[in-house]
């Protein structure tokens, strides 16, 4: 995969995922897409909690993934991210695309019909982390279940933007700290 493909996938996630959620909810529940964005309830304290939670869980994930048991998987991630040669702006953009697009589709959309637990399992499975043929990735997927569950349940208490902030900050920390050059976790 090259950088242009990743940027295109980011755009698809940013634009198409929310569009699907908006259309489905509009037709099946008569929800207005603008109301779905919860723009009137943006709260800095809730967004800050989301950022703090996302960063904290990202560092827990990095700690787990840096254990010798996960060395091959960590090296694969490092190689993938390194080959993309993403700029800081591109890392921020892709993190926002994932946080915004996926949380609208999964939390505001699918979760309304499937509930938190099923949506969480689908979310992790779609990302490839529940692959029984790759035990280490499946273990990592199981480790992510609490994070995604908290996002799912927090959506009701703290709103969409807190969840977007958590997802965004989680992804951004991973982008910033997973590097090919060495096995330590350093900023670029």
What residues does each domain of the chain span? Answer: 3-177
Which residues have a Cβ under 8 Å from the Cβ of 161 and sit 6 or more positions away?
38, 41, 42, 43, 46, 47, 50
Local confidence band at 182 (pLDDT 50, 70, 90 cut-offs): very low
Res 30: pLDDT:
75
Q: What is the pLDDT of residues 2-23, one digit of tens each?
A: 899 999 999 999 999 999 999 8
Give the CA radius of gyration of the chain: 17
Res 79: pLDDT:
83
Res 143: pLDDT:
94
Q: What is the 3-state secondary structure (H, E, C) of 66-109?
A: CCHHHHHHHHHHHHHHHHHCCCHHHHHHHHHHHHHHHHHHHHHH
Rounded to 10 degrees, the C-alpha dihedral 39/123/83/75 comes to: 130
Q: What is the pLDDT of residues 110-155, one digit of tens each?
A: 998 999 999 999 999 999 888 889 898 899 999 999 999 999 999 9
Which residues have a Cβ under 8 Å from the Cβ of 60 and sit 6 or more positions away?
none
Averaged pLDDT, 30-35: 78
Looking at the whole model, is its pTM more than 0.85?
yes
> What's the residue count for the chain?
188
In degrees, rounded to 5, the angle at the alpha carbon of residue 127 between the alpha carbons of residues 125 and 131 is 50
């Amino acid at each position: 995969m090259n950088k242009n493909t990743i940027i295109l996938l980011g755009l698809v996630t940013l634009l198409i995922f929310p569009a699907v959620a908006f259309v489905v909810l509009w037709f099946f529940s008569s929800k207005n897409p603008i109301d779905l964005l919860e723009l009137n309830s943006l709260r800095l304290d809730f967004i800050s909690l989301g950022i703090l939670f996302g960063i904290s869980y990202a560092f827990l994930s990095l700690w787990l993934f840096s254990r010798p048991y996960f060395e091959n998987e960590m090296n694969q991630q490092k190689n993938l991210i390194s080959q993309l040669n993403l700029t800081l702006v591109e890392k921020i953009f892709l993190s926002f695309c994932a946080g915004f697009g996926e949380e609208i589709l999964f939390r505001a959309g699918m979760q309304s019909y499937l509930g938190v637990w099923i949506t969480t399992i689908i979310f992790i499975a779609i990302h490839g982390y529940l692959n029984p043929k790759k035990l280490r990735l499946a273990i990592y997927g199981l480790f992510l279940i609490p994070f995604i569950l908290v996002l799912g349940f927090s959506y009701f208490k703290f709103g969409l933007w807190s969840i977007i902030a958590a997802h965004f900050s989680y992804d951004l920390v991973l982008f910033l700290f997973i590097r090919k050059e060495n096995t330590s976790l350093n900023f670029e």
